[in-house]
Amino acid sequence: MAHILDQIDTHKDLMALDDADLKALADEVRSYIIECVAENGGHLASNLGTVELTVALLAELDPEVDRIVWDVGHQSYAMKILTGRRLAMKRLRQEGGPSGFPNIKESKSDCFGTGHSSTSISAALGLAVSRRLKGAGNAVVAVIGDGAMTGGMAYEAMNNAGALKEDLIVILNDNEQAIARNVGSISEMLERIRFSPARRKIENGFKQILSGIPIVGEKIRQAGHVVKRSLKGLLLPKMLFEDLGFTYIGPLDGHNIKMMRNAIRDARKLGGPVIIHAVTKKGKGYAPAEADPDSYHGTGPFDPATGIKVNNNKDGFTDVFSKKLVELAESDPRIVAITAAMPAGTGLSSFARRFPGRYFDVGIAEQHAVTFAAGLAAGGLVPVVALYSTFLQRAYDQMLHDVALQGLHVVLAIDRAGIVGEDGATHQGTYDMSMALSAPGFTVLAPMDGTELEMMLGWAAEEAAGPVMIRYPKGHSNDSARTGPAAPFMPGRAEVLKSGSDVALICEGPSTSEAMKATSMLEDEGISATVINIRSLKPIDEQVVRSALKGHRLIFTVEEGVARGGLYSSVMLLCEGQAGSVIPLSIPESPIKHGKRPAVISRLGLDAEGIAKAVMAAAAKEGR
């Protein structure tokens, strides 16, 4: 590592650097980010694109006094490196190391925790109002990407900010991408601004023309104002921001540190809501990431010299979903697919290539995605909405109000259900079961392995009549501990994989495989276990569950979700008059910190060893 970064312990050390040193520092920070992500995995392309912007912010502001809110936060690695966490970044996203997102418990420089999109302006506006009410004088900045600007919450916040007129700086980090390339009219508008060489010339020309119009009375003055605004609105798409009450600065080169520092100073002098439009390049400075920013948005470990990624060559649940959906769509023209700006992550890239007219990327707009799907279903199509579990949370009202209450045939393919690992608390798929199980009319399914996912997706698309949610985790789909062929799938029918006399393990999803592995450890201790693969969480197989409750003194529910409102709660509803004692093995309701998925599963006691230990402890307490 070069010498300047070695001398930077905190952001305060940037004050002693001149423009040339700051540029050199940015280059070193970029190299260090590549080094850390190559070792641990993480968000690479987004962070490489915001290095100079971060240096400019920290050269002008004190993040322990001024408030800097990063939208999503997956571009905050440079901020972490320059605010006292440089050495800790060697353990980025690992247990005991820094989070991949801003975390208010991690540093005073992280003023607001983020992990989901389009929240920064709302949070920053709240910080700005609290500053005024306390009589403070610090700056408040929201850094939001153009991808996050496809989310409606950003405009709700801007509308409110324009009315309140608080001193607030919004930096629009415009790199033409969210995770995949941006879509929609907002993206097209920004592109017109970004690539309009005549923009300033036109604007200045109108100012000169309008200044020569004689003002005769108030009516003409008002008319002149209307004409000016309507002409600018026609020719200058930036007027969207100004019509919302923001002063617009830009577009600027977001990699020019001096230019960005001047813009931040100007914005503070102007006061009120100001938007600085900074154009950056995602993946800047690392050829593989520049060439393929989608692939290097979130990446596992890789060789920094070549960009070649470590690959375990095992199909995951996402791969199984992707292949099966294309297969189903080949024979059923009613099937359409929807993503919220994550075609690769959710496995829809293959569908998009094969059926471009039946594939819809709605941008970072999960609420719209679900209601759009409801409209498609009402029109006679079979929409499959592929979302991560953590992002389904953003569309709960739409899932309940627009889909469930109307009984529409919408299929929610919920990826990354349960523990995701390195992305940590903001991304764990903890609550989707509780959400869907409480929604009227939903069928809720959890495959143990890839074979079951294929069967469930086929049933959901071709046979179901109402809303269906299928939840599946990040991980390998072929690590099943099944000892024989899978039984044919039917909703409401569980599968008894192993029969025993002492304890019953009622399991959902891949937790079933861990329970099966645990039975051999239990047998060594003289404990005979029944293992039930519940498959269908709603409707649940009441007959099999009641039989387990009657036939065993100890019953355990094993699930990658919270017990409240999940599998445990569903089993407890069937416990009336039954003899068994039900013990939940589940994800606690407290935030789950980052770490590799197997390590987090182990920490929570949801791996085979943890399940066996819990059963043995309970059996010992019972005197067995």
Active site (catalytic) residues: 282, 366, 394
Taking the C-alpha atoms of residue 158 and residue 273, their distance in angstroms, rounded to an integer, is 9
- How many other CB atoms are found less than 10 A from the CB of residue 380? 8
The 3-class secondary structure across 91-135, one letter per residue, is HCCCCCCCCCCCCCCCCCCCCCCCCCCCCHHHHHHHHHHHHHHHC
- The helix/strand/coil state of 388 is strand
CA nearest to 148, candidates 118, 127, 173: 118
- How many other CB atoms are found less than 10 A from the CB of residue 95? 13
First to last CA, the chain: 60
Taking the C-alpha atoms of residue 241 and residue 267, their distance in angstroms, rounded to an integer, is 15
| Helix or strand run (H / E) with residue 145 | strand 140-145
Beta strands in 321-437 (DSSP E): 335-339, 359-361, 382-388, 411-415
The torsion angles phi and psi of 398, rounded to 5 degrees, stand at -65, -40
Residue type present at position 3: H
Q: C-alpha angle 175/180/185, rounded to 5°?
A: 70
**DSSP output for 490-543:** -TT--EEEE--SSEEEEE-TTHHHHHHHHHHHHHHTT--EEEEE--EEES--HH
Q: What is the DSSP letter of 316?
A: B
